[in-house]
Structure 1
Amino acid sequence: MACYGKCIETVIKQLDQFKPERDNPEQFLEAVSTSLQALSPRKRAFVVEVLSGCLEYRGLLSTVVDAFYARDGRLCLRADYSLFEVICYLAAFQLEELGFRLFADIVRSQPPCKMCKFLGFLFNPLNLGSWIKDEWSLVYETACVTQNWIDPLKRWQPEVQELIAQLQGVLTDQSPPSKTKAKVTEPKEFNLTAPRPRAIPVPEPVPMGAKTRPVPRSTYQPPREQQLLEMTRKYNRWKAEELLLQANIKEMRCAVPRSRREPPEQDPKTKLRPRDPPPILKIPKLTFYRPSNTPVKLNTAAVLREAALYQRQVEKELQRVDMLVDGAGDFSEFLEWQKKMQAKDREEQLVAGECRRLQGKLSREEAVLARTQVALQRKQQAEQQKEEELMQQRAERRLQEEKSVKELVEQVMETQKNVRAAQTKLLKGRQQIVQEVMEESRELLQRSAEAAKEEQRRRCELTAHLRALETQPTRKSKLVDLTQTAGYGLEGEMSVVELRERLALLKETQRLKEEEKRDQILRGKRAKSQELQNAVERIALCRAANGRSAALRWEEKKAQSATAGAPSQDERVLELQRRIREKAAQRRGQETQLHVSAPQAMRPKPLAQLEARRGLELEQSRERRLRALLQGGTASGPARRLGAA
C-alpha cells in the first residue's frame, strides 16, 4: 500500500509541474521517464502510463474535478486538484485493467476523508447519467462515451459503495485527540477618568445672497407675433384650399352623370345678356402675412434657364408682331371654331366614358351570375376530392408504418452483428494513430533542435560582425561651407546659399501671379453676379405678367364651366342602364335560390374600398388637370401675356 502511495505522489508531483501553455506533452513525458531511472521498471512504467493518461484526457478529468469543487468539495484544498484528477482517471479509464482490489489499495493509501467525498460524487448515478455524460459527449461520440466509460462506472457502483462505507468506518473509529482546556484570560476594565463633555459650538451665520429675479413667463411661451403668424398662415391655407375645391367642383361637374347631379344654380345677378360685356369676376382678397421682403434665392443654373426661356418667348412674340405688320392674317375665327369642336369632342368623350363605366358594371353583374353558378359545382367536386385524398392518405400511412417496422428490425440485426468488428477496427486505428503521432513528434523535435543550432550560429556571427564594426574609428564632426559648390562638375551647379536666394525669388514671383489671378477671378465674379441680378429682375417682371394673365384665363375658364349645361342623355347609356337593372334582378333571384353566402356573392367590403379608392383617384385627377391647365396657360400665348402686362 505504501508503494502505491509513493507512485501516486510521484504522478501528482509531475502533474503539478506540467504547464500546458509552456510544455509539450511528448517532451514532458520523455523528460519524466529519464528522471525516474532510479525507480524499478514496473513502478516507472506505472507512473509514466498514469501520467500520460492524465495528460491525454485532461479535458474530461478537469470537467469532473471542477464540478466537484463547485458542488461537494468547497472545503477541499486546491492543492489536491491533481490527486482528484489521478483518482478520476484510474476509476474511469483503468479500473478494468487494474482490478478493483488494486484500485481499493490505491484509494486506501490516500486520506480517507477526501476519498469518501470524491468517490461518492463520481459514482453518483444521477451525475453519471446526466451532466457527466453530456459534457463528455461534447468531446467524444455519445455511443463511445456510454459504452466505454459510463456503463462500466455504473457496473462497479456496488463495490465502490462498500469501499466508501469502509472508509467512513475508518473515519468513525479514529478518536479525536483530547484537548486540554487552556486558562481563559478574564479582561478587566481600565480605571480611567471620565472626559469632560464637549461644548456645543456656536453656529456660523448663514450668508444671505442677493435675491434672484424669477424667470420671466415669456421664456416658456412662444412670442405673440409667432402665434399671429401661425394663425394667419392656417387661415390663408384654409381659404386657398376652399377656393381650389370650389373651382375643381365647378370645372369637373360635367364628368358626373345627369341623373346623379343637381341642376346648376344660377344667380339672377350673374345672368348675361347677348350684347352685354362679360362681367369682371372679383377674387376675394386674402390677408397674407409678409414677415420680410426677402426674395426667393434661386440657383445660378435655374436663373439662366428661366431667363433664356423668357428671352425666347419675347423673341417669338416680336416675330409674330413683325409678321402682323407685314400683312399676315389673324387666327381668331379659326380659334373660335377650334373651341367649338373641342367642346363637342369633350361631350362625346363624356358620353363614351359613361358608356364604358356602364359596360364595366354590366360585365361585373354577368361575372357574379357566372360565379354563383360555378360555386355549387366546385363545392361538390371539392368534397369528393377530399374523401378520395383521405382514403389514399390512410392507405399510404399504413404502408409506411409497415415498411418502417421492417427497416427497424433489419437495422437492429445489422448493428448487433457489426458491434465486435467495429470495436476491433477502432482499437487498431487508435494504435496506428498513436504510432504515427509518436513518429511525427520525434521528427519535429529533431527539426526544432537543428533550427535552434542554426539560429544560435547565426546570432554568434552577427554579434562578431557588430563588434568588428564598433572597433572601427569614426569621424565625429564634419565642416560644411554653404557658400561653396560641391564640385561634382554638373551643369548649373550652385551653392546652398545661392539656391536659397533663387527659391525665395521664385516664391515671390509665384505669390504675385496668384494675387493677380485672384483679382481677375474676383472681377469676373462681380460681373457675373451683376448679370445674374439683372436676369433675376427680368424674371420677376415676367413672372408678375404671367401670373396676371393666368388669373384672367382661370376666371374665364371658371365662368365658362359655370354657365355650361349638362350633357344630354344618350340612347346607348339608357339601354346599358336598363340591361344592368335586369341583370341585377336576375342575380338576386339566383342567389336566393342557390343560398350563396353574402360575403362570397356581394362582397360589400371590397366594393366599398373600390368606391373610396375611385373617389380619391377622381380628386387627384381633378387637381392634376387644374395644374396642367394653369401651366399650359402660362406656357402659351405670349402676346396676350404682354398685353395684360
Structure 2
Amino acid sequence: MAYYGKCIETVIEQLNKFKPEKDIPEQFLEAASTSLQTLSPQKQAFILEVLSGCLEYRKLLAVVVDAFYVRAGWLCRRADYNLFEVICYLATFQLDELGFQLFSDIIRSQPLDKMCKFLGFLFNPLSLCSWIKDEWSLIYETAHVSENWIDPLMRWQPEVQELIKQLEKVMTNQSPLPKTKAKVTEPKEFNLTVPRPRAIPVPEPVPVMTKPKPIPRSTYHPPKEQEQLEMTRRYNRWKAEELLLKVNIEEMRCAVPRSRGTTLVQGSEKKLQLRFMPRILKTPKLTFYKPNNVPVKLNTAAILREGSLYQRQVEKELQRVDKLVDGAGDFSEFLEWQKKMQAKDQEEALAAGECRRLQGKLSREEAILARQLLRQGNKQKADQKKEETAELMQQCAERRLQEERSMKELVEQVIEVQKNVKVAQMKLLKGRRQIVQEVIEESRELLQRTAEAAKEEQKRRCELIAQHRALETQPMRKGKLVDLTQIPGYGLEGEMSVVELRERLALLKETQQHKEEEKRDQIIQAKRARSQGLQNMVEQISLCRAAMGRSAALRWEQKKAQSAAPGPPSQDHRVLELRRRIEESAAERRKQAASGPISAPRAPRPKPRLLRTPRATSVLSLRNLYGGACASAWRSGRDAGATRK
C-alpha cells in the first residue's frame, strides 16, 4: 500500500507542475521522464503511463471532478483536485488491466473519507447513465463512450459498492482521539491603587520674543576661497588641454607620411588653435592666477583619527627596530623577489595589451572583408527583388481594375435603396414631433409647481432669520473681576495667591541662572584644554606628513626612472600569431578589392544633438578633431601605399 501511495503522490506532484497555458504535453512528459530516472523501471513505467493518460483525457476527467466539487465534495479542498483526477482515470481506463485487488490497494493507500465520497459519486448508476454519458458524448461519439467506458463501470459497480462498505466500517471502528478538558478561568480581584490628590499646575511663563539677528552679508556673496579654487581649476584645465594637444600632434607626425602628413598636422593644429583660442580670449582683460596652497581645515574627528594613525605607525616602526636589535631577519630578499614578480607581471600585462590591440586590428580587417562580400550579395538580392516587385505591381493593377468595377455596381445599388429610405424618414419625423410637443407641455406644468414650492420655502426661511436676529439683540453680561492677591480658600496644602506664586517663580529662575553660569564656566575650561591638546596633535601631524611626503617623492622618482627605461620587444607567441593573421587578412582584402568593383563612399552618419557642458564640449571637440585628422592621415597613407604597388 505504501508503494502505490508513493507512486500516486509523484503523479500528483507532476500534475501540479503542469500548466496548460504554457506547457506542451509531449515536452512535459519528456521532462518528467528525465526527472524520474532515479526510480525503479517498474515504478517509472507506472507513473509515466498514469501521467500521460491524465493529460490525454484531461477534459473527460475535468467533467466528473468539477461536478463532484459542485454536488457532493463542497467540503473537500481544491488542493486534492489532481488526486480525484488520478482516481477517476484509474477507475475508468485502467480498472480492467490493474484488476480489482490492485485497485482496492491503491484506494486504501489514500484518505478513506475522501475515497468513499468520490467512489460513491462516480459509481452512482443514475449519474453514469444520465449526465456523465451526455457530457462525455459531447466530446467523443456516443457509441464509443457507452461501449468502452460506461458499460465497464456498470459491470464493476457491485464490487465497488462492497469496497465502499468495507471502508466505511474501517472508518467507524477507528477510535476517536481523547478530548482534553479546557481550563476554567478563575476570576481575581483587581489590584487598584489609591489615586493621589491632584497638584495645582504651575502656570506657564509668558514667552518673550528675542530680537532676530541681522542676516550676514556672506549669505548673498560666495566666499573668496571658492572663487580662487575655480580660477585655479580653469587655469590647470587650460594647461592640461594645451599639453594634450602637443602630445597628440607629435603622435600624428610620427604616424602620417612626411609629404601629406605635415600639411594635415598643420591644418589640424590651426583648427585646434581656432577652436580653443576664442574661448580663452573672449574677455578683454585676462587675469591668470597661480594656485596657492590653501590650508585645509580639519575637524576634531579628523585630527584625532590622523593622530592615532601616525601613532600606530610609529609604534610599529619601534617594534620593528626592537626586533632587528634582538636579531630578527630583514625583508630585503622578499622585496627583491617581489620586484622580480612585479616586473614579470608587468611584462605579461604589456603582452596582453599588445594582444588586445592586434585583435582589434585583426577584427577590423575581417570586418572590411566581410563588408565587401556582403555588398556583393546584397547587390544580387536587390536585382532579384526588383524583378519580383515589377511582377507584383502588374498584379496589383489588375486587382484595382476589378475592384473599381465592383464598386460601381455597389454604388448603383445604394442609390436605389436611398430613394426608399427617404419616405420612411418623413413618417418617422412626424411621429417624433408629436411626442416632443406632449413632453414640452408636461415639463411646463412641473416647472410651475416647483416655482410655487420654492416661494413658500423662501418665506419660511425669512421668518426664521428674523427670529434669530431678535434673540441676538438682547443684552448679555460680559467680563469677571479677579483679585490676584486673594487666596482661593479651597483648603489645599500649600495654597497661595497668584502674586506670591509669581515671586516664588522669580526666585527659582535666579537660582537656575546661577547654576547655568557655573556649568558654562566649567565647559569653557574643558574646551580650552581640549583645543590645546588638538593644537599639539596638529603640529605632530604636520611633521609626520612632511616626512611621508619626502618618502613618497623618492619612491615616485624611482618608479619614474624604471618606467622611462625602454623594455625589450615582445616575443610572445600570441603576439606573433596575431601579426601573421593580420598580414594574411590584409593580403586577402587587397586581392578582393582588386577583383571586385569600387563602391561609392557611404554618407556621413548624423551626429546626435546633446545638451553639452563646457567640459563636455571641449572634450568632444578634441575627439572629433583628432579622429578626423587621424582618419584622413590613415586614408592618405593607404592611397599612397596602393599607388606604390
Q: Same fold (TM over 0.5)?
A: no
Q: TM-score range by the shorter chain?
A: 0.3 to 0.5
User: How does the TM-score come out when normalised to structure 1?
Assistant: 0.43
Structure of greater Rg: 1
TM-score by length of 2: 0.43
